[in-house]
Amino acid sequence: MAASLRIVPITLRAARAYVAAMHRHNGPPRGHKFSVGLMSGDVMVGVGIAGRPVNRHLDDGLTIEINRTCTDGTPNANSMIYGALWRAARALGYERGVTYTQADESGASLRAAGWVPDAELAARGSWRESSVKLADIRDETGNGGVARTRWIKT
């Protein structure tokens, strides 16, 4: 019989280490408000990291951004993480959640957790483009220049 999945609190250090080892196109975010882990028995099968919105126009004190989720592919794991992060955020008084997917990602886990698409965003360059020559820009995470979808939860 398969072990049941359960949400556990984890440190940012543990969440960042999991993302660094397992995420297919993003590195770990620098900070967070809180993080969760998803356990199957004694094995961590996923993590989620929630923090301040990266977009300063959305950083109103009542909006939380799901900055990163990452799983080992366990079925339903990502949806469980999104749901747990949102429930925790609501309990802390947040009124809106925001997160992003790359254009080639279906968003099935977000839909399953009740999130809805809010905006289609064109590919953008690096935040460093205004201060360095384009030839010098390196995208260490491999996600620059990709169109994205913004999702919200209220």
**What CATH number is given to the structural domain containing 89?**
3.40.630.30
Distance (Å, whole) CA 73 – CA 87: 22
Q: How many domains does the chain have?
A: 1
Higher pLDDT, 26 or 151: 151
Task: Please give the residue range of the domain that contains residue 52.
Answer: 5-153
pTM of the model: 0.85
Q: Is the pLDDT of residue 132 over 70?
A: no
**Model confidence at 22, in pLDDT bands (50, 70, 90)?**
confident
Distance (Å, whole) CA 152 – CA 154: 7
Give strand pairing partners of 153: 97
